[in-house]
Amino acid sequence: MNRTILIFSVFLFNFIYACEVVAIDCNACNYDCGSLNIECYAKKRACREVANTLDSNFLTYVNDFCANYPGRMDEREKIGEAINILVSTGLLMRNELDGVQIRWCKIRGNFGSYSFGASGMVPEQNKILLDVDHKGDSAIILASLIGHEMQHIRQYRYWGTSGFRCRYMVNIAAGNGFECNNKVEKDAYNFEQRICMALNLSGCNDCGGAVPEQPSPRPDPDISRWFIPILESLLY
Ligand SMILES: [Zn+2]
């Protein structure tokens, strides 16, 4: 293809994309766009734009605030004990924690566009933040808390980072909040509840209803991880 045709094709492609109103489809983040499939590309792009909203309006602020938070490495022994308890339930394999960082931070306050408060959160695929208010909790309570966050890590691994953020943002945009009405959270609360039942803990978070089995992790073969950025660098 000579350069003139390439530039024209890129222009045409951009024009078609700009004219299209694309419904948000978070599955699109993992579509294999191996060919110049405009529909697939447009969906994937819409998905990533939604995902980036969460990143730029919220997660960047949390990550910056917590990066050097004093005491972030406290209570390592108790966290290790909590992990042993969690693995003993058989609901989580020890190797699922490979590469996962667990840090303390004060995650109650204003972060970017959001006023937020939680016992824990997963701002990126392999990082768990636990709220400092829980430092005094027993190892068994921390096990249920870490279990909840590990379910979010499974979601990141299952959906990909953009897929996770897209789903989370679609729920936030729908006004579903950060708790049981948010389907991403409900899955994590359900897992937390299963851990609580296995450990005979009472007073755990409970979204009600039947507790479903968890999805198994899936591989993410995605040629567009290199293909789309090259295309985008030509377009913009
Ligand atoms: Zn959660």
**How far does residue 146's CA lie from ligand 1's centre (Å)?**
10
Residue 116 lies in a domain: yes
Residue 126 lies in a domain: yes
Count of domains for the chain: 1
Whether this model's pTM surpasses 0.75: yes
**How far does residue 149's CA lie from ligand 1's centre (Å)?**
6
Nearest to 54, CA basis, from 170, 153, 175, 184:
170
CATH no. for residue 133?
3.40.390
Res 22: pLDDT: 76
**How far does residue 121's CA lie from ligand 1's centre (Å)?**
6
Cβ contacts of residue 103 below 8 Å, gap of 6+? 66, 69, 72, 73, 127, 128, 129, 130
Beta bridge partners of 124: 127
Residue 218 has pLDDT above 70, yes or no: no
Res 87: pLDDT: 97
Residue 203 lies in a domain: yes
pLDDT in tens, 120-130: 999 999 999 99
**How far does residue 43's CA lie from ligand 1's centre (Å)?**
26
Residue 107 lies in a domain: yes
What is the phi/psi pair of residue 178, to 5°?
Answer: -110, 10
Residue 41 lies in a domain: no
Residue 50 lies in a domain: no
**How far does residue 229's CA lie from ligand 1's centre (Å)?**
31
99 and 126 in contact (C-beta within 8 Å)?
yes
Which domain, by its residues, includes 185? 61-208
**How far does residue 42's CA lie from ligand 1's centre (Å)?**
29
Residue 56 lies in a domain: no
The whole-chain average pLDDT of the chain stands at 83
Nearest to 225, CA basis, from 80, 30, 10:
30
Tokens of 64: 């910056």
Residue 28 lies in a domain: no
**How far does residue 119's CA lie from ligand 1's centre (Å)?**
9
